[in-house]
Structure 1
Amino acid sequence: MALDHGWWLLLPKPIRRFPADLAAVVVLTVLTALAVFLPGLRETPLRILFGLPFVLFVPGYAFVAALFPEQGRSPTSDEEVVDGEQGIDAIERVALAFGMSIAIVPLLGLVLNFTPWGIRLVPIILSVSGFTIGAVVVAAFRRWELPAEERFSVPYREWIATGRTEILQPDDRTDAMLNVVLALSIVLALGSVGFAVASPQDGEQFSEFYLLTEDDDGELVADNYPEEFVQGESESVIIGIENQEHETVDYTVVVQLERVEGEGNETSVTEREELDRISTTLGHGETWQEEYSVSPTMTGEGLRLTFLLYDGEVPAEPTRENAYRELHLWIDVE
């Protein structure tokens, strides 16, 4: 036994005294932060694997641990029940952890909504992590103040020993078969969950491409686009892209001014002038907006101001036909 636990004695005493369940909470909090922020990890299923328990269980468990540091027990018939002395059992602790997490995380989001940081990924992760670590510290100190026999602890060693006995030393053949079936069921369940997390069903893939203007109140609207231009003077529009392609995409916007002949779908370009090219890279779910000043040099009536969106390399001759998305405005230039 001494050989099995010799490595444990090499750790500093405060770490050895730290409750195992609270240490697991700290480790999961750190792993979640790494999975969310580290390049290379944040694009993997680990972000979901650690993120779900981090949001739905961990902060509530730490808070409940701070409220109830004592071991749960059921009073005997001769014992008078005193409020706050009998603690809570493991099932109640787990149920409260889920309930408190569902209450705590939205409250933290509500507080962030009234701060300059707002409800964004980084403030949410930092606030939930800070609350969890603070609750863990309080819970650890409250447990250390209690006698050893009254402190709450997860009997993981008893569970491991019991599981080892049930698996390796079954009472009869029936128990052995049931153990095999249970093990296969657990492996199948974990495999199904792992496959669902590792291979999520992507929704519809598309890129949203739009033009906006700013009204008198400073709000962005899809209206009141500039129609009348003077050669050498500029008018502004706001170009927007939203990536829903479920992958990172390199976008390029090609701005052209075209003189066309014909009506309706029967039009042909007689003169084309490229005004600008704008490039940006967006991850899935990210949005990009930029104010763009249009300064046409071609004059005439019924000119077509065209915005061509490409998701990758731009062809040698960008046209409406080979663009991924296309927007245009009809303008007059004096």
Structure 2
Amino acid sequence: MSRDVDPWLLLPDPVRRLPADLVFIICFVIATCVVVLVPGLNDTPIRAVLGLPFVLFPPGYAFIAALFPEAGGFEESDRQGDASETDGRFSRFNEGIDGLERVALSFGTSIAIVPLIGLVLNFTPWGIRLVPVLLSISGFTLLMTVIAAVRRWNLPEDERFSVPYKQWSGDARSELFEPDTRADAALNVVLVVSVVLASASVGYAVLVPNQGESFSEFYLLTENDDGELVADGYPTNFTQGERKPVIVGIENHEHERTNYSAVVLLQNVTTRNNSTVVNDEQQLQRFQTTLGQNETWRTTHNITATMTGTRLRLIYLLYKGDVPRNPTADNAYRELHLWVNVTANGSSPAQVTAAPTR
């Protein structure tokens, strides 16, 4: 005859012995990490719903739980001892803190701990960015949770802190809505306003981190003898009809999806009074691509030089959006150029062409 086995009993003993409040903190941290890191979920309102409480309460609660594993306040006991007697029962004072103090300190220490973690990250290679901040806060909270659990296990069962949910609710209602004096009422108002303002400022700073400067990278590369792409060794001397490759790259760091257009021009220019005058110009090629944030696009141009001359300017102009009717280095978003020399080889007409290989 088979018996049903309780799945809870299959878990390791330390897991089954974890206090309910610490289990909640662990689950909340894991849920927040999943929502923030999993594509699709991180674009939903769930991210803000979990993210704001995540930075305001769990770090401080876990820290306070590690510092004060014992129950706080006065506790009644039926045991005879050295405590004072009241109606046949006895009371003794623990060194811990009561529920409302624990909650208030959890908010306060969270507001102090999170900026300190950010300050430390600022001096690391990772910097103050979403993922490093999330993982650092999560690691700190989980470490404090483990310490808190171990410290509670080392106490006698009747001295361990446990969450008195109903008592907390009643005490909070009494403290906030039934103050003993006007001074207490004023302090309650100040406390609520302070928590709201601190919640809004800290939550905004962490959940909406500074994106930094918006820019696009536009560059030319060549392939060296080892097959590596380097920003060096550009072809500058051609024999008429000779083909040489140049790799053009675009990287999007605009924090949004961006449409790019590029145009390649061959120009015969002269320099006068520190200014460049275009004497003749040919449009050789246009490219278009659309890139998301942090995406990269590259294409290889096999430049075939069929125009002879010295110091011919091969210029690459990048635009966000469409290429204007009269593209110039002045109206381009980014500009790259090479100075090329082409020696004659026969009597072919002078021209340079660039064809992309995808």
TM-score, length of structure 2 as denominator length: 0.56
Q: Distance in 2 between matches of 1:48 and 1:306?
A: 50
Distance 1:124 1:212, change over 3 A: farther
Q: Which amino acid in the other structure matches residue 287 of structure 2? A: R
C-alpha spacing 1:233/1:201, structure 2 compared with 1 (3 Å): closer
Q: Could you say which residue in structure 2 is the equivalent of 1:277? A: 287
Unpaired runs of 5+ residues, structure 1, are 1-11, 79-87, 111-119
Of stretches 166-175 and 191-200 in structure 1, the one that deviates more from structure 2 is 191-200
Partner of residue 24, structure 2: 23
Structure 2: 5+ residue stretches without partners: 1-6, 10-15, 73-81, 83-95, 344-358
Deviations 1:124-178 (A, max 9, x none): 9899989999998999899899986466544555443322111111112221222
Q: Distance in 2 between matches of 1:195 and 1:252?
A: 32
The sequence identity of aligned pairs, in percent, is 36
Task: Write the letter of the residue equivalent to 2:283.
Answer: E
State the 1:281 CA deviation. 1.1
Contact 2:263–2:323 at 8 Å: present in 1 too? no
Task: Give the superposition deviation at 1:322.
Answer: 3.0
How far 1:324 moved relative to its partner? 1.0
Query: Are residues 48 and 162 of structure 1, via their aligned partners in 2, closer, same or farther at CA, if it must alter by over 3 Å?
Result: closer
Corresponding position: 1:177 with 2:178? no
- In structure 2, the partner of 1:187 is 196
Counterpart residue number, 2:336: 327
For 2:87, the equivalent position in structure 1 comes to none
Matched, 1:313 2:311: no
Aligned 1:13-162 pairs, distance under 5 A: 19-39=20-40, 41-42=42-43, 46=47, 50=51, 71-72=69-70, 149=158, 153-155=162-164, 157-162=166-171
Cα distance in 1, alignment partners of residues 230 and 53 from structure 2: 37
Asked if structure 2 preserves the Cα contact closer than 8 Å seen for 1:212 and 1:240, the reply is no
Residues 214-241 of structure 1, C-alpha deviation per residue, up to 9 Å, x if partnerless? Answer: 4456665433221124536232335243
Secondary structure of the residue aligned to 2:304 is coil
Is the Cα contact below 8 Å between 2:314 and 2:340 reproduced in 1? Answer: yes
- Pick the structure with more strand per residue: 2
Does the residue aligned with 1:295 lie in a helix, a strand or coil? strand
TM-score normalised per structure 1 = 0.60
Equivalent pairs, count = 290
Give the conservation status (yes or no) of the 8 Å contact 1:22–1:140: no
What code does the residue aligned with 1:263 have?
Answer: T
Change (3 A) 1:314 1:18: farther
Alpha-carbon separation, structure 2, partners of 1:308 and 1:200? 32
Contact 1:310 1:324 in 2 (8 A): yes
User: In structure 2, how many angstroms separate the alpha carbons of the residues matched to 1:289 and 1:272?
Assistant: 25
Counterpart position of 1:288: 296
Query: How has the CA–CA distance of structure 1 residues 213 and 20 changed in structure 2, closer, same or farther, with 3 Å as cutoff?
Result: same
How large is the RMSD of aligned CA atoms in angstroms? Answer: 5.4
Larger Rg: 2
Judging changes above 3 Å, is the alpha-carbon distance between structure 1 residues 270 and 281 closer, same or farther for their aligned structure 2 residues?
same
Q: Per the alignment, in what secondary structure is the counterpart of residue 243 of structure 2?
A: coil
Q: What secondary structure does 1:33 align onto?
A: helix
Contact 1:32 1:47 in 2 (8 A): no
